[in-house]
Amino acid sequence: MNYRHSFHAGNSADVVKHSLLIALVQALQLKESALSLIDTHAGCGLYDLDGEEAGRTGEAAQGVLRAFADPNPLLNDYRAAVQAVNAAAEPHLYPGSPRFLAQLLRAQDLLILNEKHPEDVRALRSVMRGTTAAVHERDAYEFWLAMLPPRTPRGVVVVDPPYEQTDERARITATLAAAHRKWSHGVTVIWYPLKDRATHWRWKEQLRKLGIPKLLCVEHWLYDSDQPGIYNGAGLFIVNPPYAFTQALRPLLDALRAALAPEGHKGEMTADWLND
C-alpha cells in the first residue's frame, strides 16, 4: 500500500496520530529528565492543503477541518499545534510530525529527524530551519537502530513509513525486535494504515510473537465493514506507553471518534494490549 504523506495530509489518520503523539510526549514530560524525540520517516515537515497533491484527494475535509469544527476541549492541544503554522483561522498548511514534535520541545530535549527521499529531505531542512532539530538522510531502519539507546535518559522513536515497499511490515517487525533488545525500556510509536482486517491480523500475530510485554495497539476503523480498494483507517503500535498517557487515552479516543466518524458509519476506535 502506497501512502505518501503529501497526498493524505490532514486526513483523519493524521488527526488521530498527531493528537495521540502530543498526548504521549506531554505525559512523558511530566518528568523533568531530558527526552530524545526521534523520527525515522520524517517526510517534508509541512504540507500545503491547497496544493496539487493534498487537493487531489481532499482528505483534509474529513480530518483536520472536522477537528477544527468540533468544540470538544480535549482536541484543543491538537488544534493549537496546527494553528501555530497557520496565519488564518482555517488551516491551509498542515504540520508533519517533525513540526508537532518541535513545538513540544523543552530546553533539555533533543529532536532528531531522518528522511531518505532527496526532495523531501531538502524540503524538511528548509521547514526545520530555525529549530534545534538535527536532520539526517539515511535508510530509516539503519537510522532507527543507530540512534539506540539515545543520548538522553529517555526518548521516543516515531516510525511512520509510506508503506511503498512490499516488505515494509517485515522490516518494521525485524527492526523492532532488534531495537527492543538494545533499548527494552524505550518508547516506540509505529503508525500504519489499515486496508483490510485479514492482512492486518496476520501482521499483529507476527508482532505478538516478539513477546514485547507492553505493546499497546490503538486502531481507528472508519467504516462498519472493510471497503475494498481504499484505506479503511489507521492505527498506532505503542511500545512502553507511560501510565499517564494510558489513563487519559479513552476520553481522547472517544472525542476523536465523535469528531471524525464518517456519515452513516459507527466504525470503532479501540485500544488493546497486544500481549495481554
pLDDT single digits (tens) 253-274:
999 999 998 887 777 899 999 9
Cell of 38: 526521534
Considering the domain boundaries, does residue 224 fall inside one? no
Residue-by-residue DSSP string for 58-96: -GGGGTHHHHHH---GGGHHHHHHHHTT-SSSS-SEEE-
Q: Which amino acid is at 138?
A: R
pLDDT above 90 (res 1): no
Considering the domain boundaries, does residue 126 fall inside one? yes
Distance CA 98, CA 113 (A): 7
Q: Return the sign of the alpha-carbon dihedral for residues 53, 54, 57, 58.
A: negative
Considering the domain boundaries, does residue 242 fall inside one? no
Considering the domain boundaries, does residue 187 fall inside one? yes
What is the total count of domains within the chain? 1
Catalytic sites, residue numbers = 160
pLDDT above 80 (res 185): yes
What range defines the domain where residue 135 resides? Answer: 5-213
pLDDT single digits (tens) 218-250:
999 887 666 655 678 899 999 999 999 999 999
pLDDT above 80 (res 58): no
Kind plus residue range of the DSSP H or E element containing 192: strand 187-194
**Whole-number Cα distances in Å, 106 to 12, 19, 29, 31, 102:** 28, 19, 9, 12, 9
Considering the domain boundaries, does residue 120 fall inside one? yes
Query: Which of 57 and 128 is assigned the larger pLDDT?
Result: 128
Considering the domain boundaries, does residue 270 fall inside one? no
What spatial distance separates the first Cα and last Cα of the chain, rounded to whole Å?
A: 29
Contact 220, 200 (CB under 8 A): no
Distance CA 7, CA 231 (A): 13
CATH of the domain at 50: 3.40.50.150
| C-alpha 44, offset from chain centre | 14
Considering the domain boundaries, does residue 196 fall inside one? yes
pLDDT above 70 (res 174): yes
Considering the domain boundaries, does residue 83 fall inside one? yes
**Whole-number Cα distances in Å, 223 to 64, 187, 258:** 18, 30, 13
pLDDT of residue 55: 63
pLDDT of residue 229: 59
Instruction: Name the pLDDT band for 3 (thresholds 50, 70, 90).
Output: very low
Contacts of 211 (CB under 8 A, 6+ apart): 275
Work out the burial of residue 269: count CB atoms within 10 Å of its CB; fewer than 13 is exposed, 13-18 middle, 19 or more buried.
Answer: buried
